[in-house]
Amino acid sequence: MARYKIIFAYDGTSFAGFQKQPNQRTVEGVIEKAVNKMAKKKENIIGIYASGRTDAGVHALAQVAHFDFPFEITEIGMLKGLNSLMPLDIQINDVKIVSDDFHARYQVTGKKYIYRIDLGEFTNPFKRNYTTHWRFPYNLKDIKLAINDLIGEHDFSSFVASGSKVSSNIRYIYDANVNYDEANNELIFQFYGNGFLYNQVRIMVGVLMQIGQGKRPVSDIQRLLKLKNRQEARLTMGASGLYLKKVYYPGDDPEHAVPKTRRVIS
């Protein structure tokens, strides 16, 4: 038995999310089927365990998962074998044989997400599945000021969608920033933290864009963090602009390592 860690990218457009669902095409289901086919299993008895789930339409640049394989194949052999079985909207980028105590979900120390907003006057048919369109005026200076209030350890109860099943809404955001991409006429948000709640990034971006639009004061994030009321931050931006950029494990980023007593995974 050998444990493999895989890093992979996927276009979430045609998936009903990451997690397996009956009669639905999911990222987990496609990769699990390929792993079992390589192991010559008639049924999907080998499960894969990812760093976390993504919703329908959400993309990943470097998702991480592990699985236990019944016999050892070289890393390059596993990489080539899995990619030969992948559809065009999934690519396995890296494969490593890891120790039996590695766990793709429970050992995560941080995640980095990006969110892309297309600022064109009309919806671009070639970007509609990979950005969220925003056609309203905005003040980038106000957004840049407001985003700093998200940095640090906070109770993000105002920024979590209903349906979340975690025991605590406290998360630590190490860095949050936004920049204008002139070449593509896009706003690019980036959030790096020890974990994120259900729809948290999409809700935070929604509040920030409303601040930029002038519908909220620049200081409103401070109010929302204290209020802990989801009904005060109702806008959830679309899934198509969200990307899981990187998943961190012990040793990947010593500067932002979080003690086990404070580590929270979503």
251: buried, middle or exposed (CB in 10 Å: 19+, 13-18, 0-12)?
exposed
* 55 assigned to active site: yes
Closest alpha carbon to 247 in 79, 7, 26, 3: 7
Question: Residue 256 has which token pair?
Answer: 């932002």
Question: Residue 23 has which token pair?
Answer: 């009669």
Residues 6 or more apart whose CB falls under 8 angstroms from that of 24 comprise 16, 17
Task: Name the residue with tokens 């003690």.
Answer: 259
Helices (H), 47-126: 75-84
Please identify which of the residues 55, 68, 89, 142 carries the catalytic annotation: 55
Closest alpha carbon to 155 in 173, 140, 139: 173
Q: Which amino acid is at 57?
A: G
Give the span between the Cα atoms of 120 and 109, in whole angstroms.
36
Question: Residue 263 has which token pair?
Answer: 């580590």
Closest alpha carbon to 60 in 90, 97, 99: 90
According to DSSP, the residues that pair with 172 across neighbouring strands are 153
Task: Name the residue with tokens 């995560």.
Answer: 108
According to DSSP, the residues that pair with 243 across neighbouring strands are 59, 114
Q: Which residues are catalytic?
A: 55
